[in-house]
Structure 1
Amino acid sequence: MRHIVLPLLIALFLSACAGLPRPADPPTDALAHAALLEKEGSHLAAAAAYLDAAARLRGADRARVQLNAADLMLRPPVEPDALDQASRVLGQVESRHLDAAGKARYAELNARITWLEGDPQTALSHLPPSLDNLPSALVARILETQAGALADQGRWHEALETRIRQGALYQNPEERLVSQEALWAMLQQIPVRQLPDLAARASRFEARGWLSLAELAHDTPPRLSALETRLDAWHRQFDGHPAAPRFLNRLREQWAAYGHYPEHVAVLLPLTGRFSTAAQAILEGVIAAYYDSPADNRPELRIHDTGEQAESAWTHYQQAIADGARGVIGPLDRNAVTLFAQRESLPIPILALNHADPQSAYPAGLYQFGLNPETEATQAAERAILEGRRRAIILMPRTELGERLQRTFRDRFEALGGQVVSTQFFAPEASDYGASIIAALDIRDRSGRTGRDARPTPREDVDLIFLSGSPRQARLLWPQLRFHRAGQIPVLTTSHVYSGRPDPRHDQDLDGLVFADIPWLLEGANPRPELRSRLDAQLSGNTRQLPRLVALGFDALQLFPLLGRLADHPSERYQGLTGGLRMDASGHITRDLNWARFIDGRPRLVGQTDLPVADQAQ
């Protein structure tokens, strides 16, 4: 009789677990404890309990329990340690004991781990080739992983179709809503300039509706008067679309937040001292945004000169509060921002124009926004991995900024599975970078020939060069790389190589170089081209040479009334002059940048998968 009861208990436990196929758990206290923890949402603790139970099982039962544990470890948000542990657990599963559904689940977990490790292309290859005869919950999970990997490759149309297919599997309204929220969050990641073309090419009613609605979501404040009319037109065109009414109402709420400033906003900038030129450019951007807003929505602006001393920013902050300010933009100096970050509380919200030194937590009401160059290095590393590049060399000027950029790129690149095989720094004032290039690429004769017969060649195990430098340095460095026969190696760089203003006569030496920059400076990406034409005629002489800081000031004022909303809706993005702007959980404004390539001395937009090499530009 005992041999009959045990399988029955296992079957009962399996039927009690909703969703994905569950393993046959042992009838022990570990089972009850794991099930309770999972129900409470304590995924990591539940995974540990399932592993404890798995240790007492063998064969198919053990394998299924291990899959359950790995699955729980991968529930978002996924911590790096949990990702590593899930990978180890999956490696211990004896797949020969799994049935067809178990093998498909194993494949999905393997794909999800690979995707979360930053390799979406390989992740897609791990997914099961057929979804026939699999449980619908497992098919939905497979499609979820597939959509995420496709999106990370910039294959937006396929990712959207996959998300729609996934959502159709759910009968439960709550599950369907979760799927729609994930779809909408993915749409916010699509570069704005790609949305019209994607919508035009979409053949399915549902896909066209989602893409058209995403276009509306990216409309900027000066066009708000026409948005309600366009929303009504969308509703008539896509009557019966699943986005209505929830996501239409969300857009109405989002648009309602635009332009609702506090009555009094103080601006704290070091208008005298060593940061004065940068501060003046930011201030002119703030003023431009002020006059770009409807007159009846403009806040009272009061400008405070904080000077060079970091401590004076706090003094001016207190004075602004005493004067009736209900919000603050600034300060600019990193040390000053760090002083604010170290406070236990802030009486009124502040949008800092730099980032504080890293710390475990920040006071409520502190939002950090700036043009940190490390953002470009991070996105360069991510782009490289998405392109399938795994071995890189770094060429940087021997400066504090060069050190920061190489460290940021290396850390992110290696975290995603890449390897930096060589790093070389060059003297910033030099004109000949041959020695640094030769050392970085290990250029030498590999045939054993000497003298005139020698044929020095670069190493062949490198598939990326990451470099940075001023426009002058880049104009010298890039041709020298080609001279040293490194033209077959793709190159990524930062915005520092571009002055921000078209200069075809000088920049033709940069043809083929790919760099990251803000949309404000790139034709086809700038959301307000008419604004830039107007400002170019109005800005002061020095400020015209600092267009990125003007854009920062403009976005700072436009962004201020949206801070609370972005904090509450981390998937939402505001398309600013400095990039697609989102807020993370710590109050940092993150920026999605654009990529461009020099062609005939002018920057031209390139897509995610278009990474040219030097020889293609010749």
Structure 2
Amino acid sequence: MMDRLRLPVLALIIHLLSACSSTPEGPVLGELPRTPQANVQQLLQQAATLEGEQAWLLRLSAADQSARGGDLLQARRILEQTPLEQLKPAPQVFAYTLQAELALAQQRPDQALTAIQHNSFQRLAELPLPQQVRSHMARARTFEANNQPLTAIRERIFLAYQLNGQQPATAENHQAIWQLVSGLSDEQLSATGTEPDLNGWISLGRMVRQAKTLPQQQQAINLWRQQNPNHPASRQLPDELNKLLTFVDQPPRQVALLLPLQGSLANIAQSIRDGFMAAHFQAQQEGNALARIQIYDSTQFKTLDSFYQQAQADGIELVIGPLEKEPVRQLANMSQLPIPTLALNYTDPGQQVPAQLFQFGLAAEDEAREVARRAWAEGHRRAIALVPSGDWGNRVLEAFRQSWSSQGGTLLAAETIAEPGKLAAQLVEVFRLRESEARAKRLQQQLGTQLSFQPTHRQDVDFLFLAATPQQAQQVRPALIFQYVGDVPVYGTSQLHAATQNRTQYLDLEGIRFTETPWLLNPNTLLRRAVEQQWPQASSSLGRIYAMGADAYLLASRLKQLQALPDTRLEGVTGVLQLNTWRRIERQLPWATFHNGEVIPWTTTQAKP
């Protein structure tokens, strides 16, 4: 838990800066707590013998020392028992900075935000430099945790000047800025303002993102440095970009696409193949295509061993596939694979896999985790979940539950979606509407008169997580409105979006926010237009499968880069792609909402503050 406080790094920064810091504290500002040699209990015992400011400063020192020692609960208790509002500005800044650090360590970003907004921070610039650095670091991390990346970047840009090139603190700060810039939306990266340093970082992020290949990214970085020679990042590039400049990629020369082109999965396999080959042809036009693609029908091989023998004889260097669940499980049980393989499906959770096996797919579990992240970032803390019955619903619910609880969220109830005729009664129960009706009846009996009454739902629910088919979602949303629960925000996965452009159907889903692939949200991309000319169905929900094929091609060309540079994120048409430590490709998806019978992007500016 203590690694979240990052106090070892902070101590190093303070040590580097302490020699050159001044101490402008005085009667008005007050003193900052010292760092005595005594332990926590000795400090508290000494504080008990004193009164007023001297006692409070000792208590703050004890709280800080408790946090550094890993006892976060004790540190919080000491702060709660100290009259912070009676302190002078300097110790107040110290106390509320520590309070923010503790809240972040305990995954309470909303509490951290409240702490750093205390009015004592208006005097921060008058305090010694080490305290300024510590407070600005806490502020930056707080804004980041509260989904305010641009504000976090501004804090860190200011922090960079305070660090004044001191190493390794400056390098770490630059890397943190780049991570924030890399996570900005296209909308945010296209913005311009009057802040030169911020504009420089944003233009760097935009140029690197727009580059489609590693050589193009390297060229973009060098061009940016030429255009911005005096920018802080030009003088010291983030470590990730330095590695990118020196990385020498060698894409596989011969790639196998292994798919079941016959049988029950043939239609899906053919859509993946067509998306894959469309991406290949586009890459050829741009001069950066893989050398050779060979397609194999997995239904023609009796065993995986026989396929790999054939692939080795054909000189294959990378396998994309298989698609079927069972062969992927078989691969996972092998100790070693003869050829590196990017499976187009996932093994069972927690299963150990050989080092040569990578996994990619359109897992709804990724979307459930994305819902948890987005809802938390938008300030929600208590959820109710509705999912379909069966294995798929169970997996999605478990992914949401784990992600939500790991952030500190509370899942108040989780239900499988009832049949249409029973859905209304289910919502009445889960939102406790009968309790409201019972209160109204008791009040009517007490008053002896008929009252105009509208049921009210339980007030401890922040949002509803909905994983459902389009038909189920069309039943849920009107039922919520009918049962007076229409004010509860609904967050869903892409499965509820049929992509039919049917306005009548979309009106029944009004206001639902959901994750979706960039493919279906951006109809004017060159690749999608090219695919739709050949296969018009690529504009429907089947488009996600074509997009999966296109991103499989992207991953084939950049897999070595993802391995060598773990922070690399690829802008795919199924989402932003990143390789995790279990060699699974994780997707981060954009958001949309239904409004007036249309699907529109759901941007960060629309989010609940």
**Shorter-chain TM band:** 0.7 to 0.9
* 2:94 matches 1:111: no
- Corresponding position of 1:169: 162
Contact 2:477–2:486 under 8 Å retained in 1: no
Superposed CA deviations along residues 296-350 of structure 1, whole A, max 9, x for unmatched, are: 64232222333499x9445524542343211121222344334333433334322
* CA apart distance, 1:187: 0.7
- Separation (CA, whole Å) in 2 of partners of 1:18 and 1:243: 21
* 1:299 maps onto 2:288 in alignment: no
Q: Do the aligned residues in 2 keep the contact of 1:271 with 1:305 (CA within 8 Å)?
A: yes
Q: CA deviation at 1:67?
A: 2.6
Q: 1:86 aligns with which of 72, 93, 112?
A: 72
Counterpart check, 1:125 vs 2:114:
yes
2:213 pairs with 1:189: no
- Which whole-Å CA distance do the structure 1 matches of 2:88 and 2:328 have between them? 57
- Match status 1:434 vs 2:424: yes
2:400 to 384, 392, 409: 409
| Worse-superposed segment, 174-183 or 300-309 | 300-309
The answer as to whether partners of 1:267 and 1:328 remain within 8 angstroms in 2 is yes
Matched, 1:139 2:128: no
| SS in structure 2 of the partner of residue 465 of structure 1 | strand
For residue 349 of structure 1, the aligned residue among 313, 319, 340 is 340
TM-score (norm 2): 0.80
Contact 1:391-1:419 within 8 A present in 2 as well: yes
CA deviation digits over 1:64-108, x for unaligned, max 9?
4663463365xxxxxxxxxxx534454357758999877645533
| 1:468-504, Cα deviation, whole Å (9 max, x unpaired) | 2111221222112111111111111111111234332
Which of 540, 549, 552 pairs up with 1:553?
Answer: 549
Over 3 Å counting, the alpha-carbon distance change for 1:15 and 1:394 in structure 2 is closer
Show CA shifts across 1:168-190 (max 9, x none).
11131432112111111111111
Q: Provide the residue aligned with 2:6 in structure 1.
A: none
Report what 2:370 is aligned to.
Answer: 379
After superposition, residues 410-489 of structure 1 pair within 5 angstroms as: 410-427=401-418, 430=420, 433-444=423-434, 445=437, 446-448=439-441, 449=444, 455-489=454-488
AA matched with 2:479: Q
CA distance in 1, matches of 2:241, 2:540: 35
| Letter aligned with residue 294 of structure 2 | R
Aligned equivalents of 1:478 and 1:414: distance in 2?
25
**d(CA) in 1 for partners of 2:308, 2:409:** 44
What does the per-residue CA deviation read over 1:224-245, in whole Å, with 9 as the maximum and x for residues that have no partner? 77984x6666445423112226
Structure 2 CA distance, aligned partners of 1:15 and 1:292? 49
> After alignment, is 256-265 or 372-381 more displaced?
256-265
CA contact (8 A) 1:441 1:458 kept: yes
CA separation in 2, counterparts of 1:307 and 1:480? 45
The alignment's TM-score, normalised by the length of structure 1, stands at 0.79
**What is the aligned counterpart of 1:610 among 585, 595, 606?**
606
Which residue is 1:71 aligned to? 68
Distance in structure 2 (CA, Å) of the matches to 1:226 and 1:573: 12
Partner of 2:508: 509
**Which is further off, 256-265 or 315-324?**
256-265
Amino acid at match of 2:35: P
Distance 1:421 1:390 in 2: 10
Residue 388 of structure 2 is aligned to residue 397 of structure 1: yes
Contact kept? 1:390, 1:419, Cα under 8 Å: yes
Number of the residue aligned with 2:531: 535
Q: Distance in 1 between matches of 2:470 and 2:12?
A: 64
Structure 1 gap segments, 5+ residues each: 1-12, 27-52, 74-84, 613-618
- 2-structure distance, mates of 1:265, 1:387: 42
Amino acid in the other structure paired with 1:414: S
User: Using a 3 Å threshold, how does the CA distance of structure 1 residues 222 and 132 change in structure 2: closer, same or farther?
Assistant: closer
Instruction: Note if contact 2:465-2:491 (Cα within 8 Å) is conserved in structure 1.
Output: yes
CA contact (8 A) 1:280 1:543 kept: no
Q: Say if 1:329 and 1:350, in contact at 8 Å, map to a contact too.
A: yes
Stretches of structure 2 lacking an aligned partner (at least 5 in a row): 1-10, 19-32, 48-57
Using a 3 Å threshold, how does the CA distance of structure 1 residues 577 and 160 change in structure 2: closer, same or farther? same
Whichever residue aligns with residue 188 of structure 1, its letter is S
Q: Give, in angstroms, the shift of residue 251 of structure 1.
A: 5.6
Aligned with residue 271 of structure 1, among 261, 270, 280: 261
Q: Secondary structure at the match of 1:293?
A: helix
Shift of 1:556: 1.4
What is the distance in 1 between the residues matched to 2:65 and 2:336? 43
**Structure 1 residues 226, 576: closer, same or farther in 2, change over 3 A?**
closer
8 Å contact kept, 1:277–1:542: no
Provide the residue aligned with 1:32 in structure 2. Answer: none
Aligned in 2, Cα 1:87/1:554: closer, same or farther, shift over 3 Å?
farther
> Structure 1 CA distance, aligned partners of 2:109 and 2:397?
24
CA distance 1:249–1:103, change in 2 (3 Å): closer
Q: Say which of 174, 180, 189 aligns to 1:180.
A: 174
Kindly indicate whether the alpha-carbon contact (under 8 Å) linking 2:252 and 2:318 is maintained by their aligned counterparts in 1: yes
- SS of residue paired to 1:123: helix
Give the drift of 1:530: 2.2
Letter in 2 for 1:554: A
Q: Distance in 2 between matches of 1:515 and 1:308?
A: 39
Deviation larger for 124-133 or 588-597: 124-133
Counterpart residue identity of residue 108, structure 2: D
Matches of 1:453 and 1:409 in 2, distance apart? 39
State the 1:591 CA deviation.
1.6
- Tell me the matched-pair count: 554
How many Å separate the matches in 1 of 2:246 and 2:349?
34
Query: Which aligned pairs between 1:490-505 and structure 2 lie closer than 5 A?
Result: 490-505=489-504
Counterpart contact for 2:491–2:513, Cα < 8 Å: yes
Using the alignment, how far apart are the partners of 1:343 and 1:135 within structure 2?
A: 59
Q: State whether residues 275 and 531 of structure 2, in contact with CA within 8 Å, keep that contact through their aligned partners in structure 1.
A: no
Change (3 A) 1:211 1:602: same
Match for residue 579 of structure 1? 575
SS in 2 for 1:273: coil
Q: Structure 1 CA distance, aligned partners of 2:12 and 2:469?
A: 63
Q: Which region of structure 1 is more displaced relative to structure 2, 545-554 or 454-463?
A: 454-463
Give the Cα separation in 2 of the matches to 1:374 and 1:419. 18
Tell me how far 1:116 sits from its aligned partner.
Answer: 4.4
Query: Quick check: 320-329 or 156-165, which moved more?
Result: 320-329
Root-mean-square deviation (Å): 3.7
Greater shift in the superposed pair: 329-338 or 370-379 = 329-338
Deviation, structure 1 residue 269: 2.2
From 35, 40, 58, the equivalent of 1:23 is: 35
1:135-158: CA deviation from partner (whole Å, max 9, x where unpaired): 433422322232222233332332
1:532 maps to amino acid: R
